[in-house]
Chain A
Amino acid sequence: MVPEFGHFALILALMLALAQSVFPLLGAAQGKPVWMQVGRTAAVGQFLFIAIAFGSLVYAFVGNDFSVLYVASNSNLSLPLQYRVAATWGGHEGSMLLWVLILAAWTVAITGFSRHMPEDFVARVLGVMGLISVGFLAFMLLTSNPFLRLLPAPADGRSLNPLLQDFGMVVHPPMLYMGYVGFSVAFAFAIAALLSGRLDASWARWSRPWTTLAWVFLSLGVALGSLWAYYELGWGGWWFWDPVENASFIPWLVGTALIHSLAVTERRGAFKGWTVLLAIITFSLSLLGTFLVRSGVLTSVHAFVTDPARGAFVLVFLAIVVGGALLLFASRAHRIGLGGSFDPVSRESMLLLNNVMLAVAAGSVLLGTLYPLVLDALGAGKISVGRPYFETVFVPLMAPAMFLIGVGPMAGWRKASLPNLATRLRWAFAVGLATALLVPLAMGRWSTPVSLGILLAAWIIASSIAGLIERLRLSGGSMSIGAKLGTNSRSYYGMQLAHVGVAVFIAGATLVLGYETDKEVRMSIGDTIEVGGYSFRLDRISEVPGPNYIASRGDVSVTRDGRAVTTMYPEKRTYGDQQNPMTEAAIDWGLARNLYIALGERLDPRTWAVRIYHKPFVELIWVGWLMMSLGGLLAVFDRRYRVAMRKPLHAPSSVSLLPNAGAVGA
């Protein structure tokens, strides 16, 4: 019965989504407040029904209801409870359901935090989000229904890929979807602004916290995916340029461009058209990413052909969303004003240049990801595009953008002078150069790529500090340091934190690239091997039963200069009927290094192939991403987003107008 409830709830949610899109959009166009009001109610109702549907599916998974086809193909009796819950979004149908659930949640959040916006604007935003929801709900009900029955029910379900039985799989997809779907809010704001003709600074300010929040979630999602690949796939890499990864990274790159471009639109009213276009593109790429990963088209272009209904629906839906939005944009583009003026050398131009670099990088990754698919579809041969291509293309494109991180925040709005910037940044650059020379020497071996990476990282950090010092100097001389620090906004600190996060990430990525060491050895009980100054001894190997697997677990004691450091337990797990045992690497996390042990094949009863890595500073990669996300979060909670718009105006008494010099640009 419960799956039918879920199915029915999904149909009702579709009806409510229709109401949520039709009434507010028409109401806003014709100025009917009662119609506009429908949006809020329908949004809450839609969320409730989708939550009921989602709950029903989780219930079916928890109760092992294999009469539901989707449950039978994604779960089994031996699966532990937390992975049965996570298996809800382990396949195509369920992840679509998670997608609409999150969409509905974002919509409800908008209804709650939109009191300061004009009612017709909110109505249009809700209407556009309703339309997206209609598309997804119809897609699910017509082609990807998770509640379809399988009768007679099998006694047990199919096994879930052991790689996915991991905490990473529990949290990674929801986080990623929070980001993907979050950009639908930016999209809806952009479309609403185009529809209402209100492309002004207030639109940018309403959109900005939502867009940044979506970006925070997407950043966390990308980072979690990378972390999961690092510890779960068992060969020590942290990014593989896999199409699935690229599908989340491309929207991230464009989303990063978007949050920067929104900054200019909010502050200076410029780039309005470009910001709207970016919002449309970001969301379109999020849609593309969702479908690329879930439709199976990446494994084989022919997955589309085997399920033509699904493929056709996706293509038509994408065409409507992207095409419709772009048509609307084109028809309104001439009405978009240009905003404030600025010089070729100014913070505006630098942010625009940053946008160009990010967009070109995103375009190149997209090209590399889709190219083999297109060639294959055209019958022009099968090729692989992998790491060598992406690194050749991506790194040279991003390096200049990374350099700009140091200059941009120091440049004044409207007008900046290069000699002036050079004077103010000369110490930061000197610090960067010195660090770039010293770090490789301190690590014991010269490496030019590492030195260049460290140069960028140290440059970003030093220039951020230089910027902060300059601000403290310029803000009132009589205040204490604490009070001076307090005069800067949260979004300023958020920006600084995120930029330093980029630097930390670069440092981690280059150091591990340059100074990682590894050994692949045959180890018998009692053998020792030295890697990266640590001595590893295999003490024993025992059979350890898990909830649905049997593991061969090695006890490896680690010493350094005779002192015990830790004991590590790498495993080789065999899940039920799976042929190949899975590698469960043992990782000892440390600030300056990771020790990483992956158990290989058993060579004879007492001897195993073992691969041991010493990875200096690898965790800085994820620390950097975490700092970027926290920086974004700080910016979201900036005070000015909470100041009500309809506050009565009174004459300014203490608004000081500092000259537009240096970092204290208005």
Chain B
Amino acid sequence: MMRRTWMSLVMLLAAALLALLPLTALPETATPLAADPALEERLMTLAAGLRCLVCQNQSLADSNADLAADLRNEIRMQMRRGASDQDVIDYLVARYGDFVLYRPPLKTSTLLLWSGPVILLLMGIGLLIRALRCRRLQIVPTPPGAAARARAQLLLGTSSAEEPS
């Protein structure tokens, strides 16, 4: 019996405190828009990488469109129910396809997209090395004579201290 009374007393007190909380907060400090700021931050980080499907090119985090707000609500609910980020992503991809992801998943159709920059880099470096090697083979290194250089510089209208880059 005793225990029950205690329990109800504590609960009553808690309820009263909870009811008072917005009252005390209201005139002074602005309250966060989200009920749970930590969860909201997680939501926004995730939503920044997701596309708002009806917008021109905006992330779900940035968009003010109704659909974006609905989807954010949906994600929020799922997160509250304990869904992981991956669960949410899986749910959205099942519903809207890869289009919703700003980071395209690696699959056969995106293989070239993800490997492209590496291939370009290797090609670039390869061409660079080849070009440098060819030059060394083809050019007989003859430093221009002093007279020729003076003439060239006069033609260029520069003194030798000047040097652009």
Residues of A within 8 A of B (CB): 201, 205, 235, 237, 240, 242-243, 260, 263, 266-267, 270, 299, 338, 340-342, 344, 347, 349, 351-353, 356-357, 359-360, 363-364, 367-368, 371, 375, 380-389, 392-393, 397, 408-409, 414, 475, 487-489, 491-492, 494-495, 519-524, 526-530, 538, 580, 583, 600-601, 609-610, 635, 638-640, 643, 647, 649, 652, 654-658, 663-666
Contact = CB atoms under 8 A, between A and B. Distances in A.
A381 B34 contact: no
A416 to B, nearest CB: 14
A386 B103 contact: yes
B82 interface: no
Contacts of B76: none
The 7 closest A-B pairs by CB, nearest first: A386-B102, A643-B157, A491-B164, A489-B162, A388-B103, A364-B117, A527-B30
A357 B28 CA distance: 54
B162 A491 contact: yes
Contact of B57 (A243, A342, A488, A652): A243
Nearest to B26: A524
A371 B163 contact: no
B164 A635 contact: yes
Interface string B86-106: 000000000001111111100
Given A381-B98, A491-B162, A655 B103 contact: no
A266 B155 CA distance: 12
A657 B135 contact: no
A381 B135 contact: no
A156 to B, nearest CB: 25
A371 B113 contact: yes
Contacts of B65: 580
B5 interface: no
A522 B33 contact: yes
Nearest to B157: A643
Given A383-B110, A387-B49, A520-B34, A356 B124 contact: yes
Contacts of B151: 649, 652
Nearest to A357: B124
Contacts of A414: 143
B56 interface: yes
A492 B48 CA distance: 42
Interface string B112-142: 1100110011001101100110011011111
Nearest to A520: B33
B157 A492 contact: no
Nearest to B123: A360
A358 to B, nearest CB: 10
A491 B158 CA distance: 12
B150 interface: yes
B38 interface: no
Contacts of A242: 57
B139 A341 contact: yes
A392 B115 CA distance: 12
Contacts of A385: 102, 104, 113
Contacts of A383: 98-99, 101, 104, 109-110
B24 interface: no
Interface of B: 26-34, 40, 48-49, 51, 56-57, 59, 62, 64-65, 97-104, 109-110, 112-113, 116-117, 120-121, 124-125, 127-128, 131-132, 135-136, 138-144, 146, 149-151, 153-165
Contact of B160 (A386, A388, A492, A655): A655
B76 to A, nearest CB: 13
A356 B162 contact: no
Contact of A299 (B32, B56, B150): B56
A32 B38 CA distance: 78
B146 to A, nearest CB: 6
B60 to A, nearest CB: 11
B97 A382 contact: yes
Given A388-B103, A528-B29, A652-B154, 19 more contacts: A205-B156, A240-B57, A263-B165, A266-B164, A341-B135, A367-B117, A368-B113, A381-B109, A382-B98, A387-B49, A397-B121, A491-B162, A492-B164, A529-B29, A600-B64, A647-B157, A652-B151, A657-B150, A658-B161
28 contacts: A340-B144, A341-B141, A353-B128, A356-B125, A356-B127, A360-B120, A364-B117, A381-B97, A381-B109, A382-B98, A382-B99, A383-B110, A384-B99, A384-B101, A386-B57, A389-B103, A487-B162, A491-B162, A522-B30, A527-B28, A538-B30, A609-B33, A635-B164, A647-B157, A649-B155, A656-B160, A657-B146, A657-B149
B124 A488 contact: no
A414 B31 CA distance: 65
Nearest to A650: B154
Nearest to B110: A383
A347 to B, nearest CB: 8
B162 A488 contact: yes
A494 B163 CA distance: 11
A269 to B, nearest CB: 10
A657 B160 contact: yes
Nearest to B142: A341
A387 B98 contact: no
Contacts of A663: 163
A310 B110 CA distance: 30
A347 B97 CA distance: 49
Contacts of B109: 375, 380-381, 383
B51 A652 contact: no
B86 to A, nearest CB: 15
Most buried by A among B49, B59, B120, B144: B120
Nearest to B103: A388
Nearest to B69: A601
Contacts of B128: 352-353, 356
Contacts of A610: 30
A353 B135 CA distance: 15
Given A383-B98, A388-B102, A647-B157, A492 B162 contact: yes
A204 to B, nearest CB: 11
A652 B150 contact: yes
Contacts of A488: 161-162
B8 to A, nearest CB: 33
Given A489-B164, A524-B26, A652-B150, A359 B124 contact: yes
